[in-house]
Amino acid sequence: MSRKPTDIAAALMGAPYESLPQAAQKVARHIATRKQIARNLGQPEPAPTRGQRAADAVASFGGSWTFVGLFAATLLAWVGLNAWLVARQGKSFDPYPYILLNLFLSMLAAVQAPIILMSQNRQSEKDRQSAEHDYEVNLKAELEIMLLHDKLDQLREQQWLELLAMQKEQLELLAGLQATGQAGRVPGLAAWR
């Protein structure tokens, strides 16, 4: 049973094909041509650029316990070295409110934040594509189930009509046998009288 995408859209989605979103049109086309829509999202994607690899590496390292530990150790070493210099020599290279340290931390945050956002944007795009694929697969599965229900309903209706026709024929045969008086000669039929 070959159907057109326009027929699928009208029958199963209750809307004209042209008014459906692109994903729903794609599903209607796949149902009409009986093609699978599921695809392996784990397949290798195009090789990331050098900048994308760097952004992923910075985000991976910046969001790790290793980074937190090294960062805390660096801060403690900076403060400890300055305190030791003040105690030893009476002055330090970055005196207490640690303005130079604040400058370095601000520069680190200014550079690290956009790089992490770039990595998150790439991951967000992957998640969006995965969600779109899930929607298409789920919609196709739902529509295929609706088609199966329709086919089962048609089969059940056809079987009921066939059973009613058979029953009508049997009743006519029984009435004919009773009219001719042969009903008593049919084994088991006399019990029904």
Residue 120 lies in a domain: yes
State the Cα–Cα distance between residues 93 and 103, nearest whole angstrom: 14
Residue 75 belongs to some domain of the structure: yes
Count of the separate structural domains present in the chain? 1
**Shortest CA distance to 119 belongs to which of 127, 129, 107, 131?**
127
Domain assignment present for 151: yes
Identify whether 18 is part of a domain: no
pLDDT tens, N- to C-terminus, the chain (193 residues): 457 888 888 888 888 888 988 888 888 888 888 888 877 776 777 888 998 888 889 888 988 999 999 999 999 999 999 999 988 998 888 888 899 999 999 999 999 999 999 999 989 998 998 999 898 889 889 888 988 988 999 999 999 999 999 999 999 999 988 888 765 565 655 555 5
Residue 48 gets which letter from DSSP? P
Q: Is residue 26 part of a domain?
A: no
pLDDT at 1: 47
pLDDT given at position 155: 95
The predicted pLDDT at position 158 comes to 95
Give the CA distances from residue 157 to residues 83, 95, 149, 162, in Å, rounded to whole numbers and listed in that order. 91, 90, 12, 9
Per-residue confidence (pLDDT) for residue 4, from 0 to 100: 86
In a domain, 119, yes or no: yes
Residue 7 within any structural domain of the chain: no
| Contact yes or no for 94/82 (Cβ under 8 A) | yes
Write down the residue that tokens 């390292």 correspond to: 61
Domain extent for 48: 36-180
Length, in residues, of the chain: 193
Residue 144 in domain: yes
Taking the model in full, what pTM does it have? 0.58
pLDDT at 179: 86
